[in-house]
């Protein structure tokens, strides 16, 4: 693949897939029929080369959905249309996990074998599927289908999970969760291939938000509409208080909202806990609002549940944020593996537009704001805000150096406000209740209500809302206690980039200050339980493999460090250390330190966090003579 256009003939299907995003070509130079009279003396129309590069990712999605993979001839045609060198576009296509640049069957199943699903039999599921269909990636059902192992699909409350992706004339995607070997075989079976009208994905609040069936459900603030309002009805949403916050914000003005958000002491819920009022500072003159819905941290699914169960709240909150900060355009960057959330949000946006709640005159108050959804394509790194900008702009999703920060130089080089889903829906509460009242919820250092993702060996996995201040034990009890053997071995707090804590630390409040005191973090609010039947070595190996796979490869410390970390753990797991176990563990620390010190972004900086925390607490790899591997060091 070089910088020239290769003249592989584009098929009508490929052309159609690309044109459905870009429209008909306006000149022969951009993929239209050659017309020497019209095109002989100038290239007209479609802007300059690369001017519509930001449509590359949607185009690749369209090609993948139609053809099952990114064919060279389609890529070529897309490049002609966009005025991009094919090598550049190939670099983008090959960056994303959901795209294939080599031939692939139309029907593909991704089976999650990440840590939450591992506790729920993902390994056994993969083994049975492999027995029936052959190893991952091998074509099955007459070459019409295949399956792959996948990193966390964000369906942890319904583990083990699988995502079915069907390309062709009527492409669709569907989540199978909890998945069984029988469901997998049926989904990939020959007779399913032409089956039109697959049953739509569903959202069951009772499963994903178990609190809705608890007596205390009426105390819920962020999740109060879950299951009681029809997620596809704007009237239902309004009947339950929807759009009151936007009306109030428009009435009281942007200055008031800014002031209340500051008074609320709201900090970002995406993991970094940055004060939202600073991002919303009008002095930055922001141009774009970006909602980061690229929730990909293993064990995290709260944003998905909000988008699936209460999509209008996301739209309303973005509208308030756009109005308050003066942004007229909002992008919602949605994780590629969330088909139902995508459908529901798209529906909510068009319904809001139809009612005049989005558009040139929001609620008749003269404010202008609209939202565009951009789908990711399977890249954990795109949750990093600057990588996300690059992804929207049509580049490889590689993080940028900071500074400059997004508030100064963000999307398309303009000052940008970027918030995640949970942060934004808190704004609805702040506008409704007022900043001070909101700040009185929770603890001094951590204001407001908080969503947690309980998964693993817990009786009722799901998203839970509690005021900040609840301890790990409170959360486990709320979720019905430890499941599996009933004997808790370890809890992963904050996700793969977080830290393991031992049962002795369950009384730690899961607040910013509380977790810091035990060397952990709130992170993306993952609380994943492992009973004493789990081999923690397998868990940290899976985490190391995850980071190795998801490192974007841009900076050396992370690209090399994540590989070295995994290799080292593999050697220890096989009982074949280079030198002694002690020298290996010393090396592991050095690798972690180098990644923390020198990586461009948070991925590399936290890639050793969970692994190192586990090895600090449990002597997982020390020689059998030195004692029981499962005996926790600090117990």
Partner 1 sequence: MRRGARLYVVDPRRTSSARWADVWLGLDVGSDIALANAMAREIIAAGLENRRFIENATSAFEGYRESVESYTLARGEKITGVPAEVIREFAHAYARADRAQLCWTLGITEHHNAVDNVLALINLALLTGHVGRYGSGVNPLRGQNNVQGGGDMGALPDRLPGFQHVENDELRAKFERAWGAKIPPKRGWHLSGMFHAMEEGDLQALYVIGENPLHSEADQNRAERLLKGLECLVVQDVLLTPTAEMADVVLPAAAGWCETDGTVTSSERRVQRVRKAMDPPAGARNDMAILSDLAQRLGHGWGQPSAEEVWNEVRLLSPMHGGMSYARLEALGGIQWPCYDESHPGELFLHGRLWQEPVVGPRAQFSVVEFDPPVDALDEDFPLRLTTGRHLESFNTGVQTARYSSPLRAPEMLALSPEDGARYGVSDGERVRVSSRRGSAEAPVRLDDSLRPGLAFLSMHFPDQVATNLLTIDATDPKSGTAEFKATAIRVEKLRAPDAMASRV
Interface residue list for partner 1 (CB under 8 A): 3-4, 29, 34, 36, 39-44, 47-51, 83, 85, 413
**Complex with partner 1: residue 33 or 366, whichever CB lies closer:** 33
b/e for 266-302, b at 16 or more Cβ within 10 A? Answer: bbbbbbebeebbebbbeebebbbbbbbbbbbbbbbbb
**Complex with partner 1: residue 33 or 215, whichever CB lies closer:** 33
Please state the closest distance from residue 347 (CB atom) to partner 1, in A: 36
**Complex with partner 1: residue 49 or 518, whichever CB lies closer:** 49
Please state the closest distance from residue 265 (CB atom) to partner 1, in A: 38
**Complex with partner 1: residue 41 or 574, whichever CB lies closer:** 41
When computed from its CA atoms, the radius of gyration of the chain, rounded to whole angstroms, is 25
Please state the closest distance from residue 80 (CB atom) to partner 1, in A: 9
**Complex with partner 1: residue 26 or 297, whichever CB lies closer:** 26
**Complex with partner 1: residue 54 or 457, whichever CB lies closer:** 54
Query: 288-293 and 416-420: which strand pairing?
Result: parallel
**Complex with partner 1: residue 29 or 90, whichever CB lies closer:** 29
Ranges of H-type helices in 301-338? 302-309, 311-325
What DSSP element (H or E) covers 572?
helix 556-573
Cα separation, 334 vs 314, whole angstroms: 12
**Complex with partner 1: residue 50 or 445, whichever CB lies closer:** 50
What DSSP element (H or E) covers 147?
strand 145-150
CB 44 within 8 A of CB 111: no
In this structure, is the dihedral angle defined by the CA atoms of residues 60, 64, 66 and 71, taken in order, positive or negative?
Answer: positive
Please state the closest distance from residue 34 (CB atom) to partner 1, in A: 6
**Complex with partner 1: residue 41 or 202, whichever CB lies closer:** 41
Please state the closest distance from residue 44 (CB atom) to partner 1, in A: 7
458 DSSP 8-state letter: B
What are the angstrom distances between the C-alpha of 228 and each of 64, 204, 213, 559?
36, 11, 11, 46
Q: Is 53 exposed, middle or buried (0-12, 13-18, 19+ CB in 10 A)?
A: middle
CB 291 within 8 A of CB 419: yes
Terminal alpha carbon distance of the chain: 57
Please state the closest distance from residue 72 (CB atom) to partner 1, in A: 18
Please state the closest distance from residue 49 (CB atom) to partner 1, in A: 5
**Complex with partner 1: residue 30 or 279, whichever CB lies closer:** 30
CB 391 within 8 A of CB 376: yes
Cα separation, 402 vs 555, whole angstroms: 14
Nearest to 622 by CA among 565, 575, 589: 575
**Complex with partner 1: residue 3 or 283, whichever CB lies closer:** 3
Please state the closest distance from residue 82 (CB atom) to partner 1, in A: 11
CB 603 within 8 A of CB 381: yes
**Complex with partner 1: residue 46 or 113, whichever CB lies closer:** 46
Please state the closest distance from residue 36 (CB atom) to partner 1, in A: 5
Q: Is 103 exposed, middle or buried (0-12, 13-18, 19+ CB in 10 A)?
A: exposed
Cα separation, 315 vs 425, whole angstroms: 9
Token pair, residue 410, equals 């963000």
Please state the closest distance from residue 605 (CB atom) to partner 1, in A: 28
What are the angstrom distances between the C-alpha of 11 and each of 7, 14, 71, 77, 565?
12, 5, 10, 10, 45
Please state the closest distance from residue 85 (CB atom) to partner 1, in A: 7
- Provide the Cα torsion 395, 399, 402, 407; round to 10°: 60
Cis peptide bond upstream of 160, omega within 30: yes
Please state the closest distance from residue 37 (CB atom) to partner 1, in A: 9
Token pair, residue 583, equals 């020298």
Please state the closest distance from residue 59 (CB atom) to partner 1, in A: 18
Token pair, residue 8, equals 């592989």
Please state the closest distance from residue 55 (CB atom) to partner 1, in A: 17
3-state secondary structure 61-74: HHHHHHHCCCCHHH
**Complex with partner 1: residue 404 or 627, whichever CB lies closer:** 404
> Look-up: residue for tokens 């997982």?
620
Q: 562 in helix, strand or coil?
A: helix
Please state the closest distance from residue 354 (CB atom) to partner 1, in A: 36
Cα separation, 263 vs 589, whole angstroms: 41
**Complex with partner 1: residue 40 or 403, whichever CB lies closer:** 40
**Complex with partner 1: residue 85 or 469, whichever CB lies closer:** 85
CB 532 within 8 A of CB 488: yes
């Amino acid at each position: 693949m070089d910088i020239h256009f290769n003249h592989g003939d584009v098929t009508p299907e490929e052309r159609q897939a690309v044109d459905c995003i870009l429209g008909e070509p306006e000149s022969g130079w951009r993929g239209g029929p050659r017309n020497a009279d019209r095109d002989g003396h100038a290239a007209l129309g479609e802007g300059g080369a690369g001017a519509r590069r930001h449509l590359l990712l949607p185009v690749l999605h369209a090609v993948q959905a139609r053809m099952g993979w990114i064919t060279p001839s389609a890529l070529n045609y897309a490049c002609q249309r966009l005025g991009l060198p094919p090598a550049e576009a190939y670099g983008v296509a090959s960056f994303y996990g959901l795209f294939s640049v080599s031939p692939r069957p139309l029907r593909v199943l991704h089976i999650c074998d990440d840590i939450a699903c591992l506790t729920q039999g993902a390994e056994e599921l993969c083994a049975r599927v492999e027995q029936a269909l052959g190893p991952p990636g091998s074509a099955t059902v007459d070459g019409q289908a295949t399956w792959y192992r996948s990193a966390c699909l964000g369906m942890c409350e319904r583990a083990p999970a699988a995502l079915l992706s069907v390309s062709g004339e009527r492409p669709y995607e569907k989540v199978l969760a909890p998945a069984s070997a029988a469901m997998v075989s049926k989904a990939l079976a020959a007779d399913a291939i032409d089956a039109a009208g697959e049953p739509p994905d569903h959202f069951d609040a009772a499963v994903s938000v178990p609190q809705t069936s608890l007596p205390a459900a009426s105390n819920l603030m962020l999740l109060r509409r879950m299951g009681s309002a029809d997620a596809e009805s704007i009237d239902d949403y309004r009947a339950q208080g929807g759009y009151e916050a936007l009306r109030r914000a428009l009435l009281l003005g942007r200055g008031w909202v800014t002031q209340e958000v500051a008074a609320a002491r709201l900090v970002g819920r995406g993991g970094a806990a940055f004060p939202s009022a600073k991002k919303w500072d009008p002095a930055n003159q922001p141009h774009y609002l970006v909602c980061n819905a690229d929730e990909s941290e293993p064990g995290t699914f709260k944003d998905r549940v909000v988008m699936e169960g209460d999509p209008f709240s996301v739209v309303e909150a973005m509208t308030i944020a756009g109005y308050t900060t003066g942004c007229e355009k909002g992008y919602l960057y949605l994780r590629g593996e969330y088909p139902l959330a995508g459908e529901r949000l798209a529906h909510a946006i068009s319904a809001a537009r139809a009612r005049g709640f989005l558009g040139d005159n929001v609620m008749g108050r003269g404010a202008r704001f609209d939202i565009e959804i951009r789908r990711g394509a399977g890249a954990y790194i795109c949750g990093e805000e600057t990588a996300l900008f690059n992804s929207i702009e049509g580049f490889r999703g590689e993080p940028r150096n900071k500074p400059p920060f997004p508030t100064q130089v963000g999307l398309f080089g303009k000052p940008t406000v970027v918030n995640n889903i949970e942060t934004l829906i808190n704004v609805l509460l702040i506008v409704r209740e007022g900043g001070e009242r909101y700040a009185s919820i929770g603890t001094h250092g951590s204001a407001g209500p908080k969503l947690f993702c309980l998964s693993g060996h817990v009786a009722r996995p799901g998203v839970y809302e509690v005021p900040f201040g609840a301890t790990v034990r409170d959360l486990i009890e709320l979720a019905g206690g430890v499941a599996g053997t009933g004997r808790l071995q370890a809890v992963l707090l904050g996700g793969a980039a977080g830290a393991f804590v031992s049962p002795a630390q369950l009384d730690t409040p899961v607040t910013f200050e509380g977790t810091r005191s035990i060397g952990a973090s709130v992170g993306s609010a993952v609380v994943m339980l492992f009973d004493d039947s789990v081999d923690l070595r397998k868990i940290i190996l899976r985490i190391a493999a995850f980071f190795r796979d998801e490192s974007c490869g841009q900076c050396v410390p992370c690209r090399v460090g994540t590989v070295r970390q995994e290799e080292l753990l593999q050697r220890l797991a096989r009982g074949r250390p280079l030198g002694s176990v002690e020298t290996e563990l010393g090396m592991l620390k050095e690798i972690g330190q180098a990644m923390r010190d020198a990586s461009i972004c948070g991925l590399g900086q936290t890639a050793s966090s969970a692994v190192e925390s586990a090895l600090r607490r449990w002597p997982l790899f020390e020689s059998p003579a030195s004692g029981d591997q499962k005996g926790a060091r600090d117990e």
